[in-house]
């Protein structure tokens, strides 16, 4: 097994989470190694128009998704059934390649509501203690919307999110979402343009006394340069967002925002074609010491690190934890 020089941090998966972690930690002076099992991607080389508008290739055959014929997922409805392989992705679309699922997402960008962070206490207060039974796993997050608001704000300005505030510092704003939590400032870019159908819908909703508002979107309504200097262009409304990469640098993704910044930092090293097979642990299994992966040439390789971040799709994070003996697997029979 090849032994690589020790890093401060090793990151598994270079989608949104891994890319943000790499950018932040490398900027703090830590030596960071990012492992991505897929290949390199870039807007100019991988998503030029009109090639990327191929609905058969991307929407139906899922060229940007995990290839289930090579890397199967299994599914069962209860522990007594035999787990069968999935043949087609549906409710979730696992990414494959640099940028992960953040490349083919559609850019919908809602914040959670304040009550979402306090599901247990909120529902008890609203419906009484009997509304939550002992066998329910519902609980409060431990952080509040107010705790998260500065981070929501920072991410929206990273993405250049288009929208209209409905609650600015506690004051309800005309034309925005009146139910949202208070935000510190407006969206970085104005709402997307609306077609005739949306305009008619809003007119009808207002006549009924409702308060329609434009959905926040990380497809940009105008040219924008984010706080890190990443430049994005106004959306051309081609309609090919979810399941597609953006040819116009108009959809916020790891490729257009944080990865270019991380890749310019000499503290960050990206290794593509690196399939992680397990997390290595201390004998007491309380601390991670690195990961083992198979590199692009098929060599089993050990990457020691002081910190291991699992930033792949949730299914793969859980799989790695199970394979590595981390924690106690959930047993639905005992809860």
Among 240, 274, 298, give the residue marking a domain's end. Answer: 240
Compute the average pLDDT of residues 84-97.
88
**Of 216 and 135, the one with more pLDDT:** 216
Residue 246 lies in a domain: no
Is the pLDDT score of 131 beyond 70? yes
Average pLDDT over residues 84-107: 91
What's the token pair of residue 261? 């910044």
What's the pLDDT at 101?
Answer: 94
Which of 207, 240, 273 delimits the end of a domain?
A: 240
State the chain's mean pLDDT as an integer.
Answer: 94
User: Is 159 within the bounds of a domain?
Assistant: yes
- Supply the DSSP string of 38-70, one letter for each residue: S----HHHHS-TTGGG-HIIIIIS-TTB--TTT
Q: What's the mean pLDDT in 26-42?
A: 95
- 184 in Cβ contact with 157 (< 8 Å): no
Domain coverage including residue 115 = 107-240
What number is the average pLDDT over the span 57-79? 89
Q: Give the pLDDT confidence score for residue 53 in this predicted structure.
A: 93
C-alpha closest to that of 41 among 330, 283, 326, 247: 247
Tell me whether residue 247 is in a domain. Answer: no
Interatomic CA distance for residues 133 and 99, integer angstroms: 41
pLDDT at 335: 64
Residue 78: band (very low, low, confident or very high) from pLDDT cuts 50, 70, 90: confident
- Residues 80 and 154 occupy one common structural domain: no
Number of domains in the chain: 2
Kindly tell me if the per-residue pLDDT of 152 is higher than 70.
yes
What local confidence, expressed as pLDDT, does residue 158 receive? 96
Same domain membership, residue 113 and residue 100: no
Q: What is the mean pLDDT of residues 308-330?
A: 93
pLDDT at 294: 97
Tell me the CATH number at 302.
3.50.50.60
Q: Do 126 and 194 belong together in one domain?
A: yes
Q: What is the pLDDT of residues 154-174, one digit of tens each?
A: 999 999 999 999 999 999 999
Domain end among 240, 273, 307: 240
Provide mean pLDDT across the span 290-317. Answer: 96
From CA 305, how far away is CA 269, in angstroms rounded? Answer: 13
Res 333: pLDDT: 73
pLDDT computed for residue 163 by the predictor: 97
Residue 78 sits in the same domain as residue 139: no
């Amino acid at each position: 097994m090849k032994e690589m020089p020790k890093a401060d941090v090793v990151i598994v998966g270079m989608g949104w989470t891994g890319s943000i972690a790499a950018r932040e930690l490398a900027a703090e002076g830590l030596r960071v190694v990012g492992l991505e099992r897929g290949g390199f991607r870039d807007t100019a080389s991988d998503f030029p128009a009109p090639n990327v508008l191929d609905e058969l290739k991307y929407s139906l055959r899922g060229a940007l998704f995990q290839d289930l014929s090579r890397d199967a997922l299994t599914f069962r409805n209860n522990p007594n059934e035999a787990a069968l392989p999935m043949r087609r992705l549906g409710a979730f679309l696992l990414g494959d390649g640099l940028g992960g699922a953040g490349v083919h997402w559609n850019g919908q960008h809602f914040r959670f509501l304040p009550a979402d962070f306090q599901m247990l206490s909120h529902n008890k207060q609203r419906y009484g203690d009997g509304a939550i039974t002992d066998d329910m796993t519902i609980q409060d997050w431990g952080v509040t919307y107010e705790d998260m608001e500065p981070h929501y704000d920072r991410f929206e300005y990273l993405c250049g999110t288009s929208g209209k505030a409905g609650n600015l510092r506690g004051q309800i704003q005309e034309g925005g979402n009146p139910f949202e939590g208070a935000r510190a400032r407006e969206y970085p870019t104005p709402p997307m343009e609306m077609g005739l159908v949306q305009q008619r819908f809003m007119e009808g909703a207002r006549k009924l006394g409702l308060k329609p508002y434009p959905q926040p979107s990380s497809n940009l309504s105008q040219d924008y340069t984010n706080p890190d200097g990443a430049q994005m262009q106004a959306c051309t409304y081609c309609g090919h967002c979810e399941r597609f990469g953006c040819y116009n640098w108009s959809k916020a993704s790891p490729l257009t925002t944080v990865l270019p910044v991380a890749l310019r930092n000499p503290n960050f090293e990206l290794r593509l074609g690196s399939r992680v097979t397990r997390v290595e642990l201390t004998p007491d299994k309380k601390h991670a010491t690195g990961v083992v992966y198979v590199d692009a040439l098929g060599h089993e390789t050990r990457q020691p690190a002081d910190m291991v971040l699992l930033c792949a799709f949730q299914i793969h994070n859980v799989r790695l934890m199970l394979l590595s003996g981390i924690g106690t697997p959930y047993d639905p029979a005992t809860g």
